[in-house]
Structure 1
């Protein structure tokens, strides 16, 4: 089943959701701000995206700037931060089987449907 890690307050996330709705395929909406993904789930997403944990971070968020910017963090520490502060997770993320895409721009989602 296709999953979208969605933040309803984010314009790009809403655009990504619209792409999924228009596709006619079944999908699951995960409101990751309400239920932060576990570290293992984040690792699985990163493997599918083929990126490192820090590449999933919204580095312009106040939380990142105040708590983590300029620090040398291990991948595990970045994953801890993403779990503790899910607002730091880039959005939207769509996972379809073994493929995933960050919907920035939202059209990237079409490439994995």
Structure 2
């Protein structure tokens, strides 16, 4: 099964969902702003993406600029920021088994195994 962590207000995220609606693959769509990630879920996704926490953060997001930009933050601090403010998380995240990609551009889904 494929899981898409989706923000309906994001055009790229909507494009990703539309793409999978055309396939026959089983898809679970999670609106992560309505159902925020736990610390453990973020850690799991980071591992599947093979990302560091800062790579998953939208550093141009106003919440980041106003609260975190320029500060020396540990990985734990960054994960906590994403738990507190899920809008900071890059999107859409597509997970298949033990692998994940940020589907921006959409062609990144071709990298899922």
TM-score by length of 1: 0.96
Q: How does 1:23-102 map to 2 (within 5 A)?
A: 23-102=23-102
Question: What is the distance in 2 between the residues matched to 1:24 and 1:83?
Answer: 32
Return 5+ residue gaps in structure 2 as ranges: none
* 1:84 Cα deviation after fit: 0.4
Question: What is the distance in 1 between the residues matched to 2:76 and 2:7?
Answer: 24
What residue in structure 2 maps to residue 3 of structure 1?
A: 3
- The answer to whether the Cα contact below 8 Å between 1:19 and 1:109 also exists between their aligned partners in 2 is no
What residue in structure 2 maps to residue 20 of structure 1?
A: 20
- The answer to whether the Cα contact below 8 Å between 1:19 and 1:110 also exists between their aligned partners in 2 is no
Aligned residue for 1:54, secondary structure, equals helix
Instruction: Give the root-mean-square deviation of aligned CA atoms.
Output: 1.0
* 1:96 Cα deviation after fit: 0.2
TM-score by length of 2: 0.96
> Where does structure 1 differ by over 2 angstroms across 4 or more consecutive aligned residues?
none
Question: What is the distance in 2 between the residues matched to 1:72 and 1:16?
Answer: 34
